[in-house]
Amino acid sequence: MPKRSSSVVGREFGNGVRAIIARTGFTHRRLAELLGWQEAKISDLTLGKGGVTEQDVLLLLAYCQATVEEREHLLALFRETREVGWLQVPEDGLPDQVRTLIDQEREADEIIDWSMIVVPGLLQTPEYGYVVTEYAPSVKAEDVPKVAAARAARAKILEPGRKFTFFVHEQALWLPVGGLEVWREQLAHLLRMSVRKYISLRIVPRSVGMHAGTAGDFRVMKFPKYPPVVYAESVNYCLFFDDPNTIKVHEDILTALAALALSEADSREVIDKILEDLQ
């Protein structure tokens, strides 16, 4: 693949290669000497930046005694680095529990989320999230408690030192998820979270009518050292994009939403009003 900045799939590939190299006990310098490469080539490869051919990958994996399964997995990732976007179809049918997404969330220093139908996952209370999980077509009834707990645990990333912006359509606040108490507690939770300095919660009112965000929910994750990543999911698959064109399209949507959304203070007033109506 041509030498370029690191992509999501490139970093996934690089992490896998790094783990196999670590298992050999070789330093990058020693391995480069044995292969007749420059050490920078090993470094770029393990960072997912490319600069190697498929034959190079096969040579390195063979020298490191990678298993057949490891080799097939990493070669598949390597080939994916040539494509625009990365589709993942998890075997358990749980897009938001894909390890790649969780890793990207942990590495991001800014996350911007747009949600139309339900409260964004990172802002859901455990009880609200449990009900959402119950209705997920890809989750078996016996797996609901485990999946709901795993989803709730991801909210731990909401901490100082990073920035979170949530654009939420007003209709998501009016969707009665669970009983009245679950619904009301979820709204109260949004109010509590919205006053944290590193969280911005802005409501897109129903009165704006048709707008750019109706194309669907998505998330933009930004990193200190990597290009931004756009993430979107459906019932049993998820997509990662980090190509400039796709990033620009989604950033333009966010700009349009920012122009339509209520201020943080006015958004809290909307939530307060809904809570009053639910008394």
In this prediction, residue 219 has a pLDDT band, given cuts at 50, 70 and 90, of: very high
pLDDT above 80: residue 135: yes
Q: Please give the mean pLDDT across all residues of the chain.
A: 91
Short-list 7, 68, 62, CA closest to 34: 62
Mean pLDDT calculated for residue range 100-112: 93
Mean pLDDT calculated for residue range 174-183: 96
Extract the tokens encoding 85: 């976007």
CB-CB contact of 122 with 158 (8 Å): yes
Mean pLDDT calculated for residue range 148-169: 95
pLDDT (tens digit per residue) in 32-68: 888 989 988 888 888 877 778 888 899 999 989 999 9
DSSP annotation string for 145-199: HHHHHHHHHGGGG--TTSEEEEEEEHHHHHS--SSHHHHHHHHHHHHHHHTSTTE
Domains detected in the chain? 8-83 (1.10.260.40), 87-277 (3.30.870)
Mean pLDDT calculated for residue range 152-180: 96
CB-CB contact of 226 with 232 (8 Å): no
d(Cα 144, Cα 27) in Å, to the nearest integer? 44
Q: What are phi and psi of 75, to 5 degrees?
A: -65, -35
pLDDT above 70: residue 1: no
